Structure 1
């Protein structure tokens, strides 16, 4: 590129550094809000976040940003990465300039209050506490979509979906989720009809929180999570948050009589965090220093949680150490433990779901939030519809709102369109696995020897190092040579559960 262009690019990155610093501060305040802040601080914290959000809005919609966009759009001699940087900045600018700054501030304050109301409602198991706030989040989400949509033919939900999974459509999701749902239900019905009962009572014993934390910390370090660039805390709902370069945090929730819950939760969040820690510093101040999409992000968390940490090879290496740390397992065989952590049992709580039925939880939420945003589902009827879908897909019904419609925090934070990412993550992850095994046929043998660096390196080289240079539909083709499909995940499930349940799938 010309010298003038390089100089201008340096000026742009210096300007974007201000936005990065502001995001850093807001992320830190957001983490504190959800982890350590006293409840009475919520209203003022919401105002502070609202103020900072307005400042961020000003930076993203300033005449300076418009000047940068105009300059680079006239240039013919831009490298591919710079083209993507300008494309993303312009997309953000075009979107943000359609939203009045005061609206954005108002929305942030309302969202902060909504999240606090959800926590209160969940604690008391009373949906009515949260209902008016949920209605406001739906109204704001529709308003937001109407502001930013470029095509009037697009539904509001599809606009929201694009915020998390760029380029995806309701039509494409409906198609892939229909295949996925039918495949999972077929496997589930065959397992139910097998009359094989796996005993998982060995997992329901008391394990001190300190012992759980010590083991999972050891495992996370082994998998590649850098505690010098992060930390692990507790929260109502586990999450990963990137404060900034060298500060990627995770949280978990310990249950004393269900120690594997926190273990798999930590490994899941660790997968997210490893991705964020691996994104190269060269992409800072470019809008590209983040994941390709939330579906790709979930592919990494669920890859580590399930494809690695629920594999037989993983426990072939780790089970003796687990027996030493948790003496109640000393007389349990590896086969029985492996089968127990992979037992299929339809459950009500998404984060506790087995690997097979997990995607059904996601599809239920996808179908419901489409109706909340685009359809005629009233908030008043939400618990009833939620319960009916659980009965239809999983054969069980919640006994109260706490284990039903109140279990997830997403809608309280105005996060509509995110849920599909969880199921898409399963599909991306299995497709990546198929390619990884072609590149490293001895992958699982090396896991049995306690070697995980080869996995971390492959994921880093092929996925993490790109940040968001590629959109998800581009990345999956760059890495695997194919478009996203459900066949690899269903193949993975059939192979796994054929062995666990000793049946032909």
Structure 2
């Protein structure tokens, strides 16, 4: 074995040991957001912050730095997209960023996240923004310190965005979202002017939670989610958590009188879970076994939730069973049900928004969190600024903060820079779905027969298995021949909504 190979194996050992510690932290955070007793929050913050410090110390140790420096120009790094080359390239990049962060800041931030999330749950439940306000102030202070420690050329936001969408720049993302908004606005206007409306009361009948859980788990399993390597639980805000190479936790929340809430959040998180379960377990903790970006991750969840789960052929397969499970549907025609789950109408809640207006919710958050981070928007003024933007972009405003600026968990968890990846994921999803259709044939007809494995196997080969061996733009170019483009998403939406609303393709 060459000296370089020995050094590479020593590097992988250090990083995979840190990944084990990180998996323990992930498990604690999953427990916190699902079944942990409310009074345990303070000690959980101590546990998580201790682990965060140990993980940071291990990943930024002098030993890791020396190994990376020695390997950076070695033959193992010659091909930047090989397992070894990608491992060295990505870890060196992360090391240079993370080693700039003081240990004390990492520990303080991880502790503050747990405490802030607990406060957010109480504030949202009680519609009490003042209760959450000091925690958000503190979180923003810590995120500014993080961005300043890392450094940036143009915008503080760049330093934080990079954690979720590596190498992306705020200005580029803003341009992509603006172009998307400019083309979405006429579509939403056409739909509003069509005068057509589905019968939404179809979805607001009695849907017993036990039956919802049974149906959601069955569909998640049939699209490929492995429940022997994962589970479904209840939470305040649905999420997916990869605890280990064969341990993926997905969550949902139930509303007995609104069917889409739990079903589509289950399908959405199962889409994330399919990505996690499709990554290479032999490379867990290393770049070839890690997802490339949150935009790509979101493309998987949005594809399964919307392009599969809201399609007419999908419901042709599942609607007969749904009517048996839920007698409240009575003799409701499938076409009426399908129209209802594809209703386009401005709404307050992002996670329940339709596909056409969803990105407007993201743009609002993207703009607000930049203003919060820069200090241009004081936290005390957030509720009013939130409602102003909702009124401007969607023509509605919330009567309370629980359905307004308190509806998302992200800011309490310090996830500044995360939101734009949702819209990037929508664009990526449409591009990938188009390419899969070219490669595989009529996917809609497959869904109508309950055949989901061809799409999943294609995604496993093209998206999941490469891990982080390529950047997100390079991965998209490899698969689709181009990087991010909102054109396929607009085409998909118009094609879907044209027959429902009588608008032009």
Q: TM range, normalised to the smaller chain?
A: over 0.9
Q: Is residue 280 of structure 2 the alignment partner of residue 275 of structure 1? A: no
Q: Which residue of 1 aligns with 2:52?
A: 53
Q: Is residue 363 of structure 2 the alignment partner of residue 363 of structure 1? A: yes
Q: Which residue of 2 aligns with 1:402?
A: 402
SS in 2 for 1:463: helix
Q: CA offset at residue 372 of structure 1? A: 1.1
1:147 and 1:471 map into 2 onto residues whose CA distance is: 24
Q: Which residue of 2 aligns with 1:380?
A: 380
Q: Is residue 33 of structure 2 the alignment partner of residue 34 of structure 1? A: yes
Q: CA offset at residue 433 of structure 1? A: 1.0
Q: Is residue 99 of structure 2 the alignment partner of residue 97 of structure 1? A: yes
Q: Which residue of 1 aligns with 2:349?
A: 349
1:8 and 1:335 map into 2 onto residues whose CA distance is: 61
Q: Which residue of 1 aligns with 2:43?
A: 44
Partners of 2:261 and 2:352 within 8 A in 1: yes
2:329 and 2:49 map into 1 onto residues whose CA distance is: 50
SS in 2 for 1:345: coil
Q: Is residue 448 of structure 2 the alignment partner of residue 448 of structure 1? A: yes
Q: CA offset at residue 459 of structure 1? A: 0.7
Q: How is 1:387-466 mapped onto 2 (pairs within 5 angstroms)? A: 387-466=387-466
Q: Deviations over 1:58-77 (max 9, x none)?
A: 10121220221122023135
Q: Which residue of 1 aligns with 2:15?
A: 16
Q: CA offset at residue 316 of structure 1? A: 1.2
1:469 and 1:90 map into 2 onto residues whose CA distance is: 14
2:273 and 2:440 map into 1 onto residues whose CA distance is: 24
Q: TM-score, normalised by structure 2?
A: 0.97
Q: Which residue of 1 aligns with 2:144?
A: 142
Alpha-carbon spacing, 1:77–1:162, altered in 2? closer, same or farther (3 Å): closer
Q: Which residue of 1 aligns with 2:220?
A: 220
Q: How is 1:181-330 mapped onto 2 (pairs within 5 angstroms)? A: 181-330=181-330
Q: CA offset at residue 446 of structure 1? A: 1.3
Partners of 1:167 and 1:473 within 8 A in 2: no
Alpha-carbon spacing, 1:179–1:285, altered in 2? closer, same or farther (3 Å): closer
Partners of 2:284 and 2:290 within 8 A in 1: no
Partners of 1:267 and 1:309 within 8 A in 2: yes
Q: Which residue of 1 aligns with 2:2?
A: 3
Aligned-residue RMSD, C-alpha? 1.3
Q: Which residue of 2 aligns with 1:72?
A: 71
Q: Return 5+ residue gaps in structure 2 as ranges.
A: none
2:427 and 2:315 map into 1 onto residues whose CA distance is: 23
1:197 and 1:281 map into 2 onto residues whose CA distance is: 47
1:461 and 1:77 map into 2 onto residues whose CA distance is: 24
Q: CA offset at residue 484 of structure 1? A: 0.9
> Which moves more between the two structures, 3-12 or 255-264?
3-12
2:405 and 2:336 map into 1 onto residues whose CA distance is: 34
Q: Deviations over 1:54-106 (max 9, x none)?
A: 11111012122022112202313534332221122222222222122122111
Q: TM-score, normalised by structure 1?
A: 0.97
SS in 1 for 2:36: coil
Q: CA offset at residue 384 of structure 1? A: 0.7
Q: Deviations over 1:147-180 (max 9, x none)?
A: 012x4x3211111111101121122112211121
Q: Which residue of 1 aligns with 2:469?
A: 469
Q: CA offset at residue 497 of structure 1? A: 0.7
Q: CA offset at residue 10 of structure 1? A: 2.2
Partners of 1:283 and 1:467 within 8 A in 2: no
